Amino acid sequence: MTIVVTTPTGHVGSRVVRLLLQAGVRPRVLVRDPARLDAATRERVDVRRGDLTDAAFVREATSGARTVFWVDPTPHSSEDPIETSDRTADPLIEAAQAGDVARVVLLSSVGAEKRHGAGHIDGLARIEERLDATSADTLHLRCGYFFTNLLMDLDGLAGGVLTTPFHPDVPMAWVDPRDIGDVVAARLLNDDWKGHEIQAVHGPEDLTFQQVAAILTEVLGRTVQLVVVGEDDVREALRSAGLSPTAVEGIVGMSAGTRDLVPEQPRDVVTTTPTPLAAWAYAHLRPALSQ
Ligand SMILES: NC(=O)c1ccc[n+]([C@@H]2O[C@H](COP(=O)([O-])OP(=O)(O)OC[C@H]3O[C@@H](n4cnc5c(N)ncnc54)[C@H](OP(=O)(O)O)[C@@H]3O)[C@@H](O)[C@H]2O)c1
C-alpha cells in the first residue's frame, strides 16, 4: 500500500506525513527540495525529488501508488491560476484514468461546489470534476479559510490592522490546516471507502471577521482593528504589485464569489475540527509577530 503525499513541507502536508510515520507507514513524498524536510523525517520517507508542475515527474512518481494526497501547488499570482491548477493536475488524472492510481484525496475548498465564479477556487472545482470522471475512488476535502492566511499580512497585524475584502459580519468556516492534516491522514489510512465522496473541514466554529479581530486583540494583548477594503481597492493593489489581470480576478473572485455562500456541506460532527483560532494564534501568530 503506497501512499503518495504531495507538498510534504506545507502546513497540511507536513502534518499528514507526521501522522503516517506515527501510524507505521513509510509514505512516498514528492518534494522540490528534500533539505526542507527535517533529517529525522527524511530518513523515514521515500523521497521523490521534483516539481509538481513537471508532468513527467508527477506521472512517474505517482505510478503504482494505491493512494495519492494531491495538493494543488499553483500560486494565486500565476499568470492564469485556474488554467494552471487544472493543467498541473493532468498527470495525476492521466494516472487515475490508466488505473495506475486507485484513490485520490484532494485538498479542495469551500466554494468549489459553485463550479464557476469563485476565482482561483474554480481550478479546484475542475480538478474535482475531472477526478470524478476517472475510475479512481476520490475524496474531495472542502476546507474552510485557513488560520495560516493570517500569516500573509504580518506587517499589517504588527501595525494593529486586520485587512479583509470579506463582509465583516458574515460568519464563515475558519480552520487550522494541522487539523485538516489529521482528517487527510485518517482518510488515507482507512482503506474501506469507495466511490466519489465529498467531506468538508470546517474548523471548530464559524467566525465573522469582526470576531476574528476581537480574538486577535485578546490573544495579542493589543488592539487589532478590522479594515474592510472594497474589491476595486484589492484589484488596484494587486495590479500595482504586477499581477496579470487573470490572476487579479482569480484572487478577487475567491472572496467576491464566496462572500454569501452557504456551503453545500453543512457543519456537523464530521466536518468540525478541534483547534480554536485563539489557541492557534497564541501558538503561531504571537511568536511570528514578535520575531
Ligand atoms: N488558504 C486557504 O484558506 C485554503 C482553503 C482551502 C484550500 N486551500 C488549498 O490549500 C493548498 C495549500 O496548502 P498549505 O497551506 O498546506 O500549503 P503551504 O503551507 O502554503 O505550502 C505550499 C506547499 O506547496 C509546495 N509547492 C509549491 N509549489 C510547488 C511546486 N511547483 N512543486 C512542488 N511543490 C510545490 C511547497 O513546497 P516548498 O517547500 O518546496 O516550497 C509547500 O510544501 C492550496 O492548494 C489551496 O488551494 C487553501
* Inside any domain, residue 135: yes
Residue 149 CB–ligand 1 contact under 6 Å: yes
* Inside any domain, residue 290: no
* Inside any domain, residue 52: yes
Atom 40 of ligand 1, nearest CA residue: 32
Distance 10 CA to ligand 1 centre (A): 6
Amino acid at 81: P
* Inside any domain, residue 241: no
Atom 1 of ligand 1, nearest CA residue: 146
Atom 44 of ligand 1, nearest CA residue: 72
Residue 107 CB–ligand 1 contact under 6 Å: yes
Amino acid at 7: T
pTM for this entry: 0.98
Q: Which of 5, 7, 38, 127 to mutate to test the pocket of ligand 1 (most atoms within 8 A of CB)?
A: 7
Residue 73 CB–ligand 1 contact under 6 Å: yes
* Inside any domain, residue 51: yes
* Inside any domain, residue 89: yes
Residue 202 CB–ligand 1 contact under 6 Å: no
Residue 12 CB–ligand 1 contact under 6 Å: yes
Residue 91 belongs to domain with CATH number: 3.40.50.720
Range of the domain at 9: 3-146+176-202+259-273
Under a CB-based contact definition with an 8 Å cutoff, are residues 108 and 265 in contact? no
* Number of domains comprising the chain: 1
* Nearest-atom index, ligand 1, CA of 180: 16
Distance 287 CA to ligand 1 centre (A): 22
**Which CA distances in Å does 101 have to 2, 64, 161, 166, 288?**
10, 6, 46, 38, 39
* Inside any domain, residue 235: no
| Residue 36, all three cell numbers | 526542507
Residue 178 CB–ligand 1 contact under 6 Å: no
Sequential DSSP letters for 227-285 = EE--HHHHHHHHHHTT--HHHHHHHHHHHHTTTT---SSPP-TTTB-S--HHHHIIIII
Residue 109 CB–ligand 1 contact under 6 Å: yes
Residue 232 CB–ligand 1 contact under 6 Å: no
Query: pLDDT digit of tens for each residue in the chain (291 aa)?
Result: 799 999 999 999 999 999 999 999 999 999 999 999 999 999 999 999 999 999 999 999 998 899 999 999 999 999 999 999 999 999 999 999 999 999 999 999 999 999 999 999 999 999 999 999 999 999 999 999 999 999 999 999 999 999 999 999 999 999 999 999 999 999 999 999 999 999 999 999 999 999 999 999 999 999 999 999 999 999 999 999 999 999 999 999 999 999 889 999 999 999 999 999 999 999 999 999 998
Residue 140 CB–ligand 1 contact under 6 Å: no
* Inside any domain, residue 222: no
